[in-house]
Amino acid sequence: MKIITNSSMTPYRRVITALRGGCPDKTPFTVYESKIPQCAVERELRNRGLCIVKRITSYNIRRPNVKTKSIHYTDEKGRYLIRTIIETPYGELSTLDQPAGFTSWHHERLFKSPDDYNALLFMIKDSMIEPAYDHAFKVVKDLGEDFIIRDNLPLEPMQNLVSSYMGAETFSYEWMDNRDEVLKLYDALVDVARGIYPIVADGPLEFSNYGGNVIPQVMKLLRYCIRKVNS
């Protein structure tokens, strides 16, 4: 393995060299863009070689037959909340989130009961994926070599149902009680993901992340159930 000894390597060059199997002059270290505030410590870390990972997508998902609106308000406990309402021909879906710095608390997920299956399935199937390469090029150009820009694929379809739409507890009940309906959502998410893969592969960003937020206690039992069903 060739070790690159150029002491002027930028943070970006160190990370991309390591990702490609090379050996940069220093071990790269990174942080997500939302996890470090702009401050004196951030400046010092960046001077010492910190590379900030900016997460964007080289595609957009448009849903022409779905309407979305958000309501921002403060409740009686002084909490700043965002209610997102999604209107479909099969009824409304909604979420309730509480921003909390670099993250947020999910008070209500999109899926709440079996009454939501048709609306959620329609919303997923209404997804139209379009390249957003110009935006990706601009972000890369604007941020320079203190940053590395990462494309994002969706979560694995089953994990997406757990993490994004239902939550672990609701998913577990639905998997046991309404498995056929859950699998319809799964198949629809697979189709959406397959429409995204080639766009990301042909896009301008150099690497992407696939998957994450896996809950082993749920996925292990799920794989066991699937094997029992198929055996």
Each residue's pLDDT, cut to its tens digit, for the chain (231 residues) gives 444 445 578 999 999 999 999 999 989 999 998 888 888 998 999 999 999 999 999 999 999 999 999 999 999 999 999 999 999 999 999 999 999 877 889 999 999 999 999 999 999 999 999 999 999 999 999 999 999 999 999 999 988 999 899 998 899 899 989 999 999 999 999 999 999 999 999 999 999 999 877 777 776 666 666 666 566
CB hemisphere CA count around 115 (13 angstroms):
6
How many of the other CB atoms lie within 10 Å of CB of 93?
A: 22
Say if 29 falls within a structural domain: yes
**Phi-psi domain of 4 (left: phi exceeds 0; alpha: psi -120 through 50; beta: other):** beta
- Per the structure, the complete domain to which residue 97 belongs is given by 59-230
Same domain? 139 vs 163: yes
The per-residue pLDDT for range 117-160, each reduced to its tens digit, is 999 999 999 999 999 999 999 999 999 999 999 999 999 998 89
Same domain? 192 vs 100: yes
Say if 157 falls within a structural domain: yes
Say if 66 falls within a structural domain: yes
Same domain? 110 vs 210: yes
Same domain? 24 vs 63: no
Same domain? 101 vs 25: no
Domains in the chain, number = 2
Same domain? 108 vs 120: yes
Same domain? 98 vs 130: yes
Q: What is the pLDDT of residue 213?
A: 75
Same domain? 162 vs 80: yes
Same domain? 110 vs 31: no
* Contact (CB, 8 A) for 162 and 171: yes
Say if 2 falls within a structural domain: no
Among the listed residues 57, 22, 19, the one whose alpha carbon sits nearest the alpha carbon of residue 200: 57
The model's pTM: 0.85
Same domain? 168 vs 91: yes
Same domain? 89 vs 18: no
Q: What are the φ and ψ backbone dihedral angles of 99, each rounded to 5 degrees?
A: -60, 140
Same domain? 79 vs 151: yes
Residue 92 one-letter amino acid: E
